[in-house]
Amino acid sequence: MPLFFSQKILLPRPTMQNIFKIKPERLNAALSVSSAVLLVIALLLYLQPYYGIRHDSVLYLGQALLRWKPAQFSNDLFFAYGSQAQFTLFPQVIAWMLNHANAATLFLAMTLVGRVFFAAASFLLLHQLLPPKFRLWALLSLLIMPTNYGGFNVFSYAEPFSTGRTFAEPLILLALAAFVRQRWLATCTLWVLAAVIHPLQAFPALVLAWLWLINKDKRWLHLLWLPVAGLLLALANIPPFSTLLTQFDQLWLEWVSEANKHVFIMHWPWPSWCYLLTDLFLVWSLMKFTRGTINKFCSILLQATALGFACSALFADWLQLVWPTGLQIWRIQWLLHWLAMAGIPFLLFRLYRRGHAERPRLLLLVAIAVIGVTPNQAVPPWAVLITIPMFLLWPHIRERISPKISRLLMGAIVLSLAIACARYWWDVFNKYKLHDNNWYRFRLDLAILSFPLITGSFTIAGIRFWHRSQHLVRYLLLIALTLWLAYAAIFWDRRNDWTRSLESATPSQSVFGTKIPQGSQVYWENELLAPWLILNSPSYFSGHQMSGLLFNRKTAEEAHIRSETLSILEIQTQICDIMNTLNRTNASCLIDDDAVRNACAASERRLDYLVLRNSLKAPAKGTWTAFNENNKRPVTYYLYACKDFALPRTGRRHISTQLKK
């Protein structure tokens, strides 16, 4: 018998280390890195699911459609008189990609890539600013904490839809990371790329870099001669500089103030100012607790924020100049809010390490971070006007306060946070009931974990449990993270049936059974994407198109006229929608034919077709049945042609004159 079978051979005991030949410390490092990556991606997908082409992504799609098929969309209100698209190359890129993919696939992919890109860019900048043990915590905080900034919570960074900001923001973060390391070529290249995609987001980074350079060398102040020269050329009425001093006239200002009120900071509501105050406080605190690069970065960012808001108040709110108002220098807050959210873990850790004496300040900081940045919660944001002064005064009054009072204060803070959580959960469950307890229509688990105090607490507890666990438990936790990531990935796309069918529609001008001539303007009730993607036609009017009022007076004037033209019709459709909802049918209400007739006449032959969810007495040119986005009831859309509702010429002229007045 061969020796191999006849002798007993003693093999070493198989372990994970000698199977893969990995040292224990390397194995621990690999497990930690794997778990961190899984946790980041799971939070990224879970907390911000994709709901489709909405908000400003609708406008970017429209700008791309204009460049893709200019003959078909040039009459659309959003493009007819010019728009902000002239300042960016991003729509041209989207138009080129539309040759290779439909809008639904393209915008979903861009959103996912942009979100991952933002997380990676954030980590690279945090790598330059924070000590190693705080970088992952800072990134997790950016994913968990609210991203809203600006007036009326209109904007947020790392939005769950695709716009120019989706790619400009991570490019700016990379440019700042290169700037901190004094990589000038990389800084300029990355900033220029961001600027050609979204100049309004890129400009604040330029201000930040300029102030940083001034801090090192006062000769950079000589750059101020550039705006002085521009002002002199504007006073000399030399184009294009002459437009720098153009002011809003009274009518234009009224139209803009109604539709774009967030650009005037003095019109912001008090909650928006409380959120700004919280950001300023958190970044100021981070500056006080740190040294080196991060300390300088905080200081310069605070200066840039003060300069940006002062310029916005002066040029937009007081002087009412068109060009500076459109520049929206207050957008520096997106960088301020980013750093404020990233710095929260560092601040909490520093206070925690100071011992029991600082526990009240630790809880106050938690309350400030939760109350001051989370909109739509039980505790009003003005509470930070109490908690921030208490945080600042505590070191000076700590010795005068008895331990009993200190414990009562901590108990009150914990109780208020518990009440906030309970009230939030109560609101969530009520909303769940309003959606007929339908999990698909209302993600109960997501709604609960969207509250940052809850998700943050679970994350901290989970990571502490990981560090205290043995290898076997860590493998089980890794499997659990993988399953959670799979769950988040499967349900990341939360588009309803209507949105999916709308975004994936094959454009056809005959979907209603009758061909719509190319370039015909269509009013589709409560929709802007539908005429673009389904009928391949320009939209006569939609609320989304009001975003262009700030950049062109003619657009503002025409939008106002069209809004007034359709006002009676829109009121009637809203009443019919309420009646249909109450009666659980789509045929319980008829719109007055005269409302349509008057709207068509007042449009002066610009409005060609209307698509309504409620029928008229007059026969429709065609019908199309789709599913309702809320309860999946089939909805019939009716197509009407304005030429079938003709008024005598005198009546048409009278209505048009009244609207212009």
CA 263 to CA 266: how far, in whole Å? 9
Q: Is a pLDDT exceeding 80 seen at residue 296?
A: yes
CA 538 to CA 530: how far, in whole Å? 10
Phi, psi of 539 (to 5 degrees): -95, 135
DSSP 587-632: -S----HHHHHHHHHHTTT---EEEESS--SSPPSEEEEEE-TTT-
CA 370 to CA 380: how far, in whole Å? 11
The rounded percent of the chain whose pLDDT value lies above 70 is 92
Helix (H, G, I), strand (E, B) or coil at 146: coil
Q: What is the mean pLDDT of residues 85-114?
A: 94
Match 């005068």 to its residue by tokens: 400
Domain annotation covers residue 249: no
Q: Do residues 494 and 441 touch, judged by C-beta distance below 8 A?
A: no
Handedness of CA 213, 218, 222, 224 (dihedral sign): positive
Report the DSSP beta bridge partners of residue 641: 609
**pLDDT tens string 226-279:** 999 999 999 998 988 888 999 999 999 999 998 899 999 999 999 999 999 999
CA 284 to CA 299: how far, in whole Å? 8
**pLDDT tens string 620-640:** 999 998 865 555 567 889 999
Q: What is the mean pLDDT of residues 324-337?
A: 96
Determine the pLDDT at residue 377: 67
Q: Do residues 117 and 191 touch, judged by C-beta distance below 8 A?
A: no
Report the DSSP beta bridge partners of residue 636: 625
- What lies within 8 Å, CB to CB, of 577 at 6+ separation is 613
Match 């008057």 to its residue by tokens: 598
CA 135 to CA 345: how far, in whole Å? 9
**pLDDT tens string 8-32:** 434 445 454 454 455 667 777 888 8
**pLDDT tens string 424-450:** 889 999 989 988 888 888 899 999 999
- Which of 587 and 303 is assigned the larger pLDDT? 303
Phi, psi of 340 (to 5 degrees): -60, -45
- What lies within 8 Å, CB to CB, of 449 at 6+ separation is 46, 47, 455, 458
Exposed e or buried b per residue across 22-46, where buried means at least 16 C-beta atoms within 10 angstroms of its C-beta: eeeeeeeeebeeebbebbbbbbbbb
Determine the pLDDT at residue 1: 37
The rounded percent of the chain whose pLDDT value lies above 90 is 71
Domain annotation covers residue 37: no
- Which of 649 and 386 is assigned the larger pLDDT? 386
**pLDDT tens string 188-225:** 999 999 999 999 999 999 999 999 999 999 999 999 99
Mean pLDDT of the chain: 90
Q: What is the mean pLDDT of residues 102-115?
A: 97
- Count of domains observed in the chain: 1
- Nearest CA-CA partner of 451 in 532, 530, 379: 379
- Nearest CA-CA partner of 602 in 543, 643, 561: 561
Q: Using 50, 70 and 90 to split pLDDT, how confident is the model at 647?
A: low
Domain annotation covers residue 165: no
Determine the pLDDT at residue 653: 43
Determine the pLDDT at residue 633: 66
CA 422 to CA 111: how far, in whole Å? 33
Q: Using 50, 70 and 90 to split pLDDT, how confident is the model at 599?
A: very high
Burial of 467 (C-beta count, 10 Å sphere; 0-12/13-18/19+): exposed
Q: Which amino acid is at 126?
A: L
Domain annotation covers residue 647: yes
Angle subtended by helix axes 293-311 and 199-216, to nearest 10 = 120
The pairing of strands 522-524 and 622-627 is: unpaired
Q: Is a pLDDT exceeding 50 seen at residue 5?
A: no
Determine the pLDDT at residue 632: 58
Q: What is the pTM of this model?
A: 0.92
Q: Is a pLDDT exceeding 90 seen at residue 521?
A: yes
Residue 635 DSSP one-character state: E
Determine the pLDDT at residue 115: 98
* Alpha helices per DSSP H over 403-451: 403-434, 444-449
Q: Using 50, 70 and 90 to split pLDDT, how confident is the model at 540?
A: very high
End-to-end, the C-alpha distance of the chain in Å comes to 110
Determine the pLDDT at residue 16: 43
Q: Which of 382-396, 433-447, 458-472, 605-619 has the lowest mean pLDDT?
A: 433-447
Helix (H, G, I), strand (E, B) or coil at 639: strand
Tokens found for residue 624: 């199309």
Q: Do residues 364 and 394 touch, judged by C-beta distance below 8 A?
A: yes
Q: Do residues 560 and 544 touch, judged by C-beta distance below 8 A?
A: no
Burial of 525 (C-beta count, 10 Å sphere; 0-12/13-18/19+): buried
- Which of 345 and 652 is assigned the larger pLDDT? 345
Report the DSSP beta bridge partners of residue 493: 50
Determine the pLDDT at residue 7: 41
**pLDDT tens string 504-517:** 888 887 889 889 99
Question: Cα 660 to the chain's mean position, in Å?
Answer: 36
- What lies within 8 Å, CB to CB, of 303 at 6+ separation is 211
Q: What is the mean pLDDT of residues 376-398?
A: 89
Q: Do residues 549 and 256 touch, judged by C-beta distance below 8 A?
A: yes
- Max intra-chain CA distance, the chain: 115
Report the DSSP beta bridge partners of residue 148: 156
Q: Is a pLDDT exceeding 80 seen at residue 338?
A: yes
**pLDDT tens string 238-247:** 988 888 999 9
Domain that residue 527 falls in: 504-660
Question: Cα 13 to the chain's mean position, in Å?
Answer: 55
